């Protein structure tokens, strides 16, 4: 197996550090949110309001922020005040949800206190939100 193209492990290599299954991400977010092409703001759909917990809403918001970053080649993640500015929940509820998700290793936080959804959770979230019985807050 001298030729690197014959190496089955080469299929694991990506030139894109943001490599992600864009179709899975689009399918996950489609029932909940739209991203405005001009303002890059979020428009929430009725299914978003039906999510049962603030944690679930924050998961969808941070996943939408990841999609926005991929579409517009912008910075991934959001700070607590940015999430609160969406007027989905009060700042205290935003901070509580972010803390809980971070403490349970479900989201990441960078040095600028911006929270983001790890790429590896996309498939987990797709399963969770496609099957409501899998949701646990």
Enumerate domains of the chain plus CATH numbers.
20-131 (1.10.10.10)
Per-residue CA distances from 52 to 44, 76, 112, 137 (Å)? 15, 25, 29, 7
Q: Summarize pLDDT for 85-137 with one digit per residue, the tens.
A: 999 999 999 999 999 999 999 999 999 999 999 999 999 999 998 865 555 54
Residue 20's pLDDT band, with cuts at 50, 70 and 90, is confident
Q: Is the pLDDT at 19 greater than 80, yes or no?
A: no
Q: What is the pLDDT of residue 60?
A: 98
pLDDT of residue 11: 80
Quote the pLDDT of residue 6: 84
- What is the rounded average pLDDT of the residues 1-25? 75
Partners of 35 in the β-ladder: 42
The 3-state secondary structure of the chain, one letter per residue = CCCHHHCHHHHHCCCCCCCCCHHHHHHHHCCCEEECCCCCCEEECHHHHCCCCHHHHHHHHHHHHHHHHHHHCCCCCECHHHHHCCCCCCHHHHHHHHHHHHHCCCCEECCCCCEECCHHHHHHHHHHHHCHHHCCC
pLDDT tens across 72-92, in order?
999 999 999 999 999 999 999
**pTM of this prediction?**
0.85
């Amino acid at each position: 197996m001298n030729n690197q193209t014959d190496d089955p492990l080469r299929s694991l290599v990506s030139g894109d550090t943001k490599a992600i299954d864009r179709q899975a991400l689009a399918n996950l977010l489609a029932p909940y949110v739209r991203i405005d092409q001009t303002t890059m703001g979020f428009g929430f759909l009725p299914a978003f309001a039906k999510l049962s917990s603030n944690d679930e809403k924050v998961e969808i918001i941070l996943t939408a922020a990841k999609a926005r970053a991929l579409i517009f080649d912008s910075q991934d993640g959001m700070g607590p005040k940015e999430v609160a500015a969406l007027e989905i929940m009060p700042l205290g509820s935003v901070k509580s949800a972010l803390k809980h998700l971070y403490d349970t290793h479900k989201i990441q936080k960078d040095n600028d206190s911006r929270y983001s959804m790890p790429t590896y959770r996309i498939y987990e979230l797709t399963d969770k939100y496609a099957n409501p019985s899998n949701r646990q807050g």
